[in-house]
Amino acid sequence: MSGEDQELPVFTTAADMRNWVRKQKKSGRKVALVPTMGYLHDAHLSLVKAALEKADVVVASIYVNPTQFAAHEDFDVYPRNADEDRAKLKAVGAHAVFEPESLYVQVPGASEGANVVGRETHHPDSHETYVTVERLQKPLCGGSRPHFFRGVCTVVTKLFHICEPDVAVFGRKDYQQFRVISRMVRDLDFPIEVVGVPIGREADGLAMSSRNARLSPESREKALCLSRGLAWAEKAAAEGSVSDSAAVQAHVRGLIEEAGGKVDYVELLHAINLGPVTDLSSQPVLLALAVHFPAKDVGTVRLIDNTVLNPDKE
Ligand code: AMP
């Protein structure tokens, strides 16, 4: 049978997934994991390609993680299409898919202040243990989504224990997530190399996102203000025409508001430790954006994007 005719194995239980990975490792193969929430686009596939360069076999996980959504957020309308996802993963050369039905069932009271969605139950199988990266989770997305990184870290920890990867690949579009996971791996001694892949963009500059599918046509057009704002800042920093972070922040916020975006944050922080910065010339500086636009279904779509100014100083 040619490689193309072979079925892509899809595992739905932790035990089956772990058995498969252990067999691969016993045969001396290096394993990479690409965690996703599905509805895959080309940027997700670029993560799989990066993983294939780093390891012999690549597992992609697809799990819309309820613990990282608050009750008012878009868990119920988050786009899903498992069949297409599997076809795309097979075409790009992934070796297995992990599609757990449920990884975390919260006990009542365990989601203090976070109002997390998902099944809260007294069932004996429910969970109450969380992983928290205390400081790095606080700025940026942690401000408006205080539950978010605890949910990400807890479920990524479970994925790491189940898939036992040598390499884990994340996208730099979710820049804070990349830094938080890297810190968690270091702090908790996971024997895993964390790889950060550059942001994948549409031809007109919009960062690829599963959530783009929820934008109305007008919002899709307006959302270009994010990449335009970042490009303006990159140019200004490279030319040295602005040296003060507050000036960049004010200008980019103005561009976004003028285009009709509702700003959650426009922030400049040190690109490694996510601490405050004022001077732009001597250090790598993350310019990170989170902006709401009207959705075509219900409510708004929250998009994030970022760039690192002075990346050579990293
Ligand atoms: P998600 O399915 O949105 O949770 O994303 C799964 C992985 O793909 C995460 O590591 C994301 O950072 C990454 N990712 C999503 N969109 C992009 C993008 N446009 N460029 C680079 N990585 C991305």
Q: Which atom of ligand 1 is nearest to the CA of 201?
A: 19
Residue 282: the pLDDT is 84
| Distance from residue 177's CA to the centre of ligand 1 (Å) | 10
For residues 59 and 95, give the distance between their C-alpha atoms in angstroms, rounded to a whole number: 6
111 band by pLDDT with thresholds 50, 70 and 90: low
Residue 43: the pLDDT is 98
96 φ, ψ (degrees, to nearest 5): -160, 155
pLDDT tens per residue, range 12-33: 999 999 999 999 999 999 999 9
235 Cβ contact partners less than 8 Å away, ≥ 6 residues apart: none
| Distance from residue 35's CA to the centre of ligand 1 (Å) | 9
Instruction: Compute the average pLDDT of residues 85-111.
Output: 89
In terms of pLDDT, which residue wins out, 138 or 278?
138
From the CB of residue 84, how many other CB atoms can be counted at a distance below 10 Å? 12
Residue 2: the pLDDT is 42
Give yes or no for residue 56 having a pLDDT over 80. Answer: yes
Residue 310: the pLDDT is 87
Residue 109: the pLDDT is 60
Give yes or no for residue 80 having a pLDDT over 50. Answer: yes
Mutate to test the pocket of ligand 1, among 48, 68, 80, 170 (most ligand atoms within 8 A of CB): 170
Give yes or no for residue 118 having a pLDDT over 90. Answer: no
Structure tokens at 68: 């990282």
| Distance from residue 109's CA to the centre of ligand 1 (Å) | 31
Q: Where are the domains of the chain?
A: 10-197, 210-313
Q: What is the CATH number of domain 10-197?
A: 3.40.50.620
Residue bearing the CA closest to ligand 1, atom 5: 36
Mutate to test the pocket of ligand 1, among 69, 173, 206 (most ligand atoms within 8 A of CB): 173
Residues linked to residue 120 through DSSP beta bridges, in sequence order = 106
Domain 210-313 has CATH 2.60.40.10: no
Residue 110: the pLDDT is 55
Q: Which atom of ligand 1 is nearest to the CA of 207?
A: 19
| Distance from residue 71's CA to the centre of ligand 1 (Å) | 22
Q: Which residues have a catalytic role annotated?
A: 44
Instruction: Compute the average pLDDT of residues 276-303.
Output: 94
pLDDT tens per residue, range 36-48: 999 999 999 999 9
For residues 79 and 253, give the distance between their C-alpha atoms in angstroms, rounded to a whole number: 29
| Distance from residue 248's CA to the centre of ligand 1 (Å) | 26
Q: Tokens 């599963």 correspond to what residue? A: 210
pLDDT tens per residue, range 172-230: 999 999 999 999 999 999 999 999 999 999 999 999 999 999 999 999 999 999 999 99
Domain 10-197 and domain 210-313 have a common topology: no
| Distance from residue 290's CA to the centre of ligand 1 (Å) | 15
Using an 8 Å Cβ cutoff, are 60 and 94 in contact? yes
Mutate to test the pocket of ligand 1, among 33, 40, 44, 302 (most ligand atoms within 8 A of CB): 44
Q: Nearest CA to 256 among 285, 218, 219, 228?
A: 228
Residue % of the chain over a pLDDT of 70: 92
Using an 8 Å Cβ cutoff, are 165 and 192 in contact? yes
Residue bearing the CA closest to ligand 1, atom 12: 171
For residues 38 and 287, give the distance between their C-alpha atoms in angstroms, rounded to a whole number: 27
Minimum mean pLDDT range among 95-99, 102-106, 141-145, 235-239? 102-106
Residue bearing the CA closest to ligand 1, atom 20: 199
- The overall average pLDDT reported for the chain is 92
For residues 77 and 297, give the distance between their C-alpha atoms in angstroms, rounded to a whole number: 8
Residue bearing the CA closest to ligand 1, atom 10: 170
pTM recorded for the entire structure: 0.94
Instruction: Compute the average pLDDT of residues 255-276.
Output: 97
| Distance from residue 249's CA to the centre of ligand 1 (Å) | 25
Query: What is the SS3 assignment for 80?
Result: coil
Mutate to test the pocket of ligand 1, among 45, 47, 194 (most ligand atoms within 8 A of CB): 47
Structure tokens at 120: 């809260």
Give yes or no for residue 123 having a pLDDT over 70. Answer: no
113 band by pLDDT with thresholds 50, 70 and 90: very low
Give yes or no for residue 117 having a pLDDT over 90. Answer: no
Around ligand 1, the residues with Cβ closer than 6 Å are 36-37, 43-44, 47, 170-171, 173-174, 197, 199-200, 207-210
